Structure 1
């Protein structure tokens, strides 16, 4: 259990750092493109690279949300169900989510084989297998994130804790602390 916790914390931190890096890189690319266009010289590769960067940010950001169990769901519905049904709904939802990402990883990998001979139009030295690798890699990461966050999610489900309500209560607590600090 300790190994799972440490692995989860390590992967969460890695995903945080990588998504922040992607966000900063994308911001820099957009600002550079604006500056170059203002000076009358456009970057030929901007549109293609920026759209790929946004896709990567979305995919890896989804992994970060998965490890934090912050993706969309129906925790209120599950937590309000009777205990046996709650457990069944939880297991079913995990099987569906993980099964979906197994399919995405499998076919995402096969797409890489098809794209092996293609390159970016604006940067012919960059293979599409690099840009599209985000699909199978993030699908496998999503599965790993789900599995690493499963024990704590299972425990919350067993005790009937609604993670959305828990997040709302934490946000209210933090806002009240900020309010107290601003008054002093």
Structure 2
């Protein structure tokens, strides 16, 4: 299986997970608002919505990383000579990968510390809710690794990644 097919499958998986999380969060928020408006507030709404928002954030961040949609300064980097450009790109990637590997490791530690605790309003283990930290960080690392060959190739050749206004996705 080629790297392009793996990347495409990974992108599809992240899109599906993120979409399902956004739709689920929307349903929970609509239920919460509807019940609150009717005078019968749901006791679990706030806590579950907050957890789901965190999940959307982590999975969405990994998807944005895979699509190279995070804020960057390519004009500054790609205006430099090749040696400086490559150094900046490699240092940037090392910082990103190190941060997310550490986030994953400390996320596992958080889960270990909170072990048997559950959410206040529903009997869901905190380990399940906090699992998004190491999982999301791991997915972010995978996204960066999938993009690394392209990032290094573009830096070597001095070709800046496409700007936002240059990217047009065709609808099927």
- TM-score range normalised by the length of the shorter chain: over 0.9
> Separation in 2 of the partners of 1:29 and 1:118?
23
Structure 1 ranges of 4+ moved more than 6 A:
none
Q: Which runs of 5+ in 1 are unaligned?
A: 175-184
> Separation in 1 of the partners of 2:48 and 2:82?
49
Q: Which runs of 5+ in 2 are unaligned?
A: none
Which of the two has higher C-alpha Rg?
1
- Offset of residue 23 of structure 1: 0.6
Confirm or deny that 1:144 pairs with 2:122: no
Looking at secondary structure, tell me which structure has more helix per residue.
1
RMSD (CA atoms): 1.4
The number of residue pairs the alignment matches comes to 169
- TM-score, length-scaled by structure 2: 0.93
Instruction: Please list the CA deviations of residues 71-109 of structure 1 after superposition, one character each: whole Å capped at 9, or x if unmatched.
Output: 122211111111111111111111110011111111110
Aligned partner of residue 154 in structure 2, secondary structure: helix
Most deviating of 50-59 and 65-74: 65-74
- TM-score, length-scaled by structure 1: 0.87
Listed as ranges, the matches of 1:12-51 within 5 Å are 12-51=11-50
Aligned to 1:114: 113
Q: 2:166 aligns with which of 130, 151, 169?
A: 169
